[in-house]
Amino acid sequence: MLVIVPGDWDTVPEGVQELKQYLADEFGANLRVRKAMTPMKRPTPLFTGDWESGQRRAASRAVRSLLPQAFYTLDWLEETQ
DSSP string, 20-51: HHHHHHHH----EEEE-SS--SS-EEE--S--
The pTM assigned to this predicted structure is 0.85
Containing structural domain, residue 55: 2-74
Q: Is residue 29 part of a domain?
A: yes
Q: Which of 75, 77, 67 is nearest to 12 (CA)?
A: 67
Q: Is residue 42 part of a domain?
A: yes
**15-25 confidence digits (pLDDT tens):** 999 999 999 99
Q: Is residue 80 part of a domain?
A: no
Q: Is residue 55 part of a domain?
A: yes
pLDDT score of 78: 62
Q: Is residue 79 part of a domain?
A: no
Q: Is residue 81 part of a domain?
A: no
Extract the residue ranges of the chain whose pLDDT is less than 50.
none
SS3 state at 70? helix
Q: How far apart are CA 48 and CA 23, in angstroms?
A: 13
The domain total for the chain is 1
Which residues make beta-bridge pairs with 46? 2
pLDDT score of 74: 80
